[in-house]
Amino acid sequence: MATAVDHYAVMGNPITHSKSPFIHALFAEATGQKLHYAAQLVEQNGFSQAIEFYFDQGGHLGLSVTVPFKEQAWQLAEIKTERAEKAGALNTLWLDGEGKLNGDNTDGLGLVRDLKVNNGISLKDARVLILGAGGAVRGVLEPLLTEQPKEIVIANRTVSKAETLANLFLGQPVSGCGFSDVSGSFDVIINGTSASLQGELPPVSGSVVTGNTTCYDMMYSKDTTVFNQWALNQGAGKVIDGLGMLVEQAAEQFVIWRGVRPDTDAVFKILREEMS
Ligand code: ATR
């Protein structure tokens, strides 16, 4: 008798370049889990129908969600983790034993794990500057705050968006401002803007960077990203790109779905090598 295979997938638009099928296949192989993970292109206005259809098929247990459906996934999930509530967007869906749609956002956990475990950067009592105030930044704030930094400053081109985000965390050491209002230096600076997609830099003063600063670009690329090159030019102690975050957020999904933590180091190295 054939053994049933559990099914997972990533939904997004576009989806061709998603590395998730490759990453989850490597995790499955390394942990001996029998599963199939597909990439599914979903029409812009077809997400809720697509997930309904998906989970109606037997053995379809979990989904990754990517651009542009993360906010819709948040609206559709019946049960969300606390960090996902605050994130306003989900990247992970699954059905619980009662058939209810559950959701989580593992992006922030992935970022924190890449900083702490893979790169040895502690956020405890750190002064943290985050550039950008869009969905990507909102998604990671709660897990960053859990690490008890001294302060998180969110700087954004549209100042009101930075202030609105900071106001979601009243009573916690988070503030929002414009790029030109940022003063002093920081232990950790995270670029969460999409400026680098246009090859641009958030216009923040170079004085925020010292030799003790770690700069983290949530984007990743084959070569040093525009932001990380800028940071190096300012004398940053360490620069990291978002490839590790990509692998770690997927590992957190794998833990949720399968109850097993895959080794991420080997997968990270394979991806980095493939990019070179
Ligand atoms: P994402 O889901 O990637 O976060 P988003 O929600 O559209 O996408 O947010 C993009 C972020 O990048 C925003 O903070 C945006 O600034 P505004 O809120 O002022 O639009 C920022 N951003 C995009 N292009 C930028 C640029 N050229 N310079 C600085 N910030 C930029």
Write the pLDDT tens digit of every residue in 222-245.
Answer: 999 999 999 999 999 999 999 999
Range of the domain at 142: 108-241
Contact 79, 100 (CB under 8 A): yes
State whether 133 and 234 are in the same domain: yes
1 part of a folded domain: no
State whether 118 and 236 are in the same domain: yes
Alpha carbon of 103 to ligand 1 centroid (Å)? 25
List the one residue out of 187, 184, 99 whose CA is nearest residue 144. 187
154 part of a folded domain: yes
State whether 80 and 59 are in the same domain: yes
Ligand 1, atom 21: nearest CA belongs to which residue?
Answer: 193
State whether 53 and 113 are in the same domain: no
Q: Identify the band that residue 4 occupies on the pLDDT scale cut at 50, 70 and 90.
A: confident
User: What local confidence, expressed as pLDDT, does residue 3 receive?
Assistant: 56
Alpha carbon of 244 to ligand 1 centroid (Å)? 21
State whether 121 and 159 are in the same domain: yes
State whether 112 and 232 are in the same domain: yes
* CATH code of the domain covering residue 237: 3.40.50.720
State whether 67 and 113 are in the same domain: no
Averaged pLDDT score across all residues of the chain: 96
User: What local confidence, expressed as pLDDT, does residue 139 receive?
Assistant: 94
List the one residue out of 141, 86, 106, 121 whose CA is nearest residue 216. 121
Query: Facing residues of 229 across strands?
Result: none
Which residue among the candidates 19, 70, 80, 86 is catalytic per the annotation? 70
Is residue 171 over pLDDT 60?
A: yes
For residue 70, give the ligand 1 atom closest to its CA. 2
Ligand 1, atom 27: nearest CA belongs to which residue?
Answer: 195
Average pLDDT for 209-225? 96
268 part of a folded domain: yes
State whether 190 and 171 are in the same domain: yes
80 part of a folded domain: yes
Four-CA torsion 148, 153, 154, 159, nearest 10 degrees: 150
Ligand 1, atom 5: nearest CA belongs to which residue?
Answer: 134
For residue 137, give the ligand 1 atom closest to its CA. 4
86 flagged as catalytic: no
Determine the residue type at 209. Answer: V
Alpha carbon of 60 to ligand 1 centroid (Å)? 34
User: What local confidence, expressed as pLDDT, does residue 58 receive?
Assistant: 86
State whether 208 and 122 are in the same domain: yes
Q: Identify the band that residue 196 occupies on the pLDDT scale cut at 50, 70 and 90.
A: confident
What angle (nearest 5°) sits at the alpha carbon of residue 11, between those of residues 253 and 251?
A: 15
State whether 85 and 168 are in the same domain: no
48 part of a folded domain: yes
174-186 pLDDT tens trace = 999 999 999 999 9
Tell me the whole-structure pTM to 2 decimals: 0.96
* CATH code of the domain covering residue 31: 3.40.50.10860
Beta strands in 16-59 (DSSP E): 35-41
Alpha carbon of 17 to ligand 1 centroid (Å)? 21
Q: Which of 153, 154, 194 to mutate to test the pocket of ligand 1 (most atoms within 8 A of CB)?
A: 194
Average pLDDT for 28-51? 97
Q: Identify the band that residue 1 occupies on the pLDDT scale cut at 50, 70 and 90.
A: very low
CA distance 263 to 32: 12
State whether 97 and 177 are in the same domain: no
The number of distinct structural domains making up the chain is 2
State whether 16 and 119 are in the same domain: no
Ligand 1, atom 18: nearest CA belongs to which residue?
Answer: 158
78-113 pLDDT tens trace = 999 999 999 999 999 999 999 999 999 999 999 999
